[in-house]
Amino acid sequence: MGLTTVVLTISWLMMVVDHPERARSGPSLEDVLDKFIFVFFALALAGLQLRIKLFTCFVVLLIVLMPWLMGEGAAAFQAGLAGGRQGFGISPIRTAMYFCLVFIFALTFLKETITGSDRCWRRAFLLFVLLVYALVCILFAQTRAAFIALPLAFVLCLPLFHFTGQLSAKWFLVPLGVLALTSAVLIGALSGTDVFDRNVNRFMMELGTVDSVMEGDLDTIEDSSWGLRVKFTVIGIEQFLERPLTGWGYKGSQQALADAADDGYLPKPYTQLHNSYLEALVDYGVGGLFIFLALFMWAFYRLALAGRSAQIKPEYLTGLFLYLMFLVVFSVFDGILFQERHGPLIFNIVMGLAVTHIYRDMLSPQKTLDL
């Protein structure tokens, strides 16, 4: 947090010197420091298993009930079956992000329930139902970023599983078997609906954007979902190259998007670049990006140490690895770390669970991870 304060203060001072008309009255520390609320979660949990379990169950329960607490309940599911994109009361992108957390933890806990010494088939059945439910909600959200980030998270976590001794044939076979069974259940249950067709069509409609990017023909890109993201990337890179060291300060990316809309490059002013790392670069330069990358890398490293020393249960180790990696990938497609409420909230919840285990491990003798 000390480094964050320094980076944001320097960025503000340089804006005062170079562009006083755009500088705020003081450094907006809350723009990044709100990503460190997890420290309080971690201290409250104190590494105690009972508190960790209760906290995890509470978070999962709130997400599971979200379609009824914030959405239209059964009516939303009926609309989802008809192919309508559902957010259950919030943005579908945020909905997919929440239910991916439920999906990952249901899968990892189910794996340990099936393969562990203390098997409980009733609990396994409940976890399987939860897994199917989460996957259905993800499909209804129709968020392509989630469909890309989920499998990539599994692939990118393989080295981490290897270093912590979690990588084995059994580790592969059980989740793959569960996913195959889940897919079969979903195909049977959702056959005859428009859910799968709509998700496939959303991908197919954007292939023209991919072709234009590969050919370098950025002038013909349409203002579709992926086309706008390409334009956001172009704007972000241009703004970063103008002030690579200290950035444009608080909400600098929003100002750039507003200017692009005034120039006619964008159809309207947007609130984010849809890329958390690009947001950090534009707003606070390389120092801003370093803060987030260093935070993720530190969490992975310390979790790996905790896994080596058996200070964290396998289901939590695997689940936290996967979801943190999911956030790393998902942040490439959406500015979740710089958006109000939902992005920082889920980040702080997962980091709080990770850091409370790390805190417990740090109380044991110091270790190093042989990479």
pLDDT digits (tens, 9 = 90+) for 292-327: 999 999 999 999 888 888 788 888 998 999 999 999
pLDDT for 368 = 45
Task: Give the mean model confidence (pLDDT) for residues 281-293.
Answer: 93
Torsion of Cα atoms, 237 then 241 then 243 then 244, to 10°: 90
Region for 93 from its dihedrals, namely left if φ exceeds 0, alpha if ψ lies in -120 to 50, beta otherwise? alpha
C-alpha 314/C-alpha 300 separation (Å) is 14
pLDDT of residue 39 exceeding 50: yes
42 versus 24: the higher-pLDDT residue is 42
pLDDT for 228 = 85
C-alpha 202/C-alpha 19 separation (Å) is 42
pLDDT for 113 = 84
Q: What does the pLDDT look like over 219-245, one tens digit per residue?
A: 667 777 778 888 899 899 999 999 999
pLDDT for 179 = 66
pLDDT of residue 369 exceeding 50: no
DSSP 16: H
> C-alpha distances in angstroms, 119 versus 22, 50, 104, 141?
61, 20, 20, 33
To which residue do tokens 């439920």 refer? 102
pLDDT of residue 193 exceeding 80: no
Do residues 316 and 53 touch, judged by C-beta distance below 8 A?
no
C-alpha 29/C-alpha 20 separation (Å) is 18
Do residues 317 and 44 touch, judged by C-beta distance below 8 A?
no
pLDDT for 371 = 39
